[in-house]
Amino acid sequence: MSVINVGQAIVLGIVEGLTEFLPVSSTGHLKITEGLMDIPVDDTSVVGFTAVIQVGAIAAVLVYFFSDIVRIVTAWGRGIAKPSERYHHDYKFGWWVIFATVPVVIVGVAAKDLIEGPLASLWVVAGSLIGGSVVMWLADRYGTHKRGEDDTSLTDAMLIGSSQILAMLFPGFSRSGATMSTGLLLGLDRVAATRLSFFMGIPALTGAGIYELPSALDSGAGAMPLVVGTLVSFVVAYASIAWLLRFVARHTFTSFVIYRVVIGLLLFGLLSAGTLDA
């Protein structure tokens, strides 16, 4: 019997799609939701299920930014074939995304047991939600917001991409929150930091989903819940991306900071009261 049924997969797909690219921690929200539905958060099939349905959200990014991705990949391919084309920013950016993914892959593989074990605790999620909020507030408050996407460098890409490690090690910190905050600290404007967060997440999250797929299927997550959860996360994530880009163009990240602190404190309360099992 599958550890996750279709109804639960729909709920988790909605949560994943809503929170994957918002700086509020999809992993944290998924773990909270799983706990409320009495799904064992540290079960290997549940961890695998979470990684796989993220692919639905990543597919939404691929569709939403299709023209940008084609432009970058085309420029990268031209630069590979012709040295004279290597001056183009898109060619360099293609390499930067690849380089910035390497540290994430190394840490993800090396610390897999730790990430899926002790660090999967909801206590860690609650603390990371609040700790990440402090970082986000400082980045938004003190970032200069003067640099655009075309002003980025290899150093920017490496720092932004590598910041995803924080979210891997501390579920609740938020992958998008870490990358956006890093971008803001580097002086990027909010839209540029958000777009780079999307691009940097594509290889890391896709790789995680593919890596976890065999174990998710073998350990009892169930093929149908995986398919349903992934499709739901795709639809909801697409709408979430469109909304977020419009939002950050006109607003600060303060509302996300407040929301994260409230959820973190609520989670601490539920855990302390025994309502949720860590």
Please name the residue ranges forming H helices in the chain.
6-19, 26-36, 44-64, 66-81, 89-110, 112-116, 122-142, 154-162, 164-169, 175-185, 190-218, 223-248, 254-273
Whether residue 217 has pLDDT greater than 80: no
Whether residue 1 has pLDDT greater than 60: no
Residues of the chain with pLDDT > 70, as a percent, come to 95
Look at residue 275 in the predicted model and tell me its pLDDT: 80
Overall average pLDDT of the 215-233 stretch:
80
Whether residue 44 has pLDDT greater than 60: yes
Residues of the chain with pLDDT > 90, as a percent, come to 62
- Structure confidence at residue 91 as a pLDDT band (50, 70, 90): very high
Please give the model's pTM, rounded to 2 decimal places.
0.88
Look at residue 2 in the predicted model and tell me its pLDDT: 65
Q: Which residues contact 178 (CB under 8 A, 6 or more apart)?
A: 132, 135, 163, 164, 166, 167
Q: What is the pLDDT of residues 5-41, one digit of tens each?
A: 899 999 999 999 999 899 998 877 887 888 888 887 6
Overall average pLDDT of the 67-95 stretch:
94
With CA atoms as reference, report the closest residue to 23 among 259, 249, 187, 232: 259
Per-chain mean pLDDT for the chain: 89
- Distance, CA of 89 to CA of 130 (rounded, Å): 36
DSSP lists the bridge partners of residue 212 as none
Spell out the domain ranges in the chain: 6-273
Poorest-pLDDT segment among 97-101, 142-146, 162-166, 168-172: 168-172
- Structure confidence at residue 196 as a pLDDT band (50, 70, 90): very high
Q: Nearest 10 degrees: CA dihedral of 57, 62, 63, 68?
A: 140
Look at residue 31 in the predicted model and tell me its pLDDT: 79
Overall average pLDDT of the 34-57 stretch:
81
Whether residue 238 has pLDDT greater than 70: yes
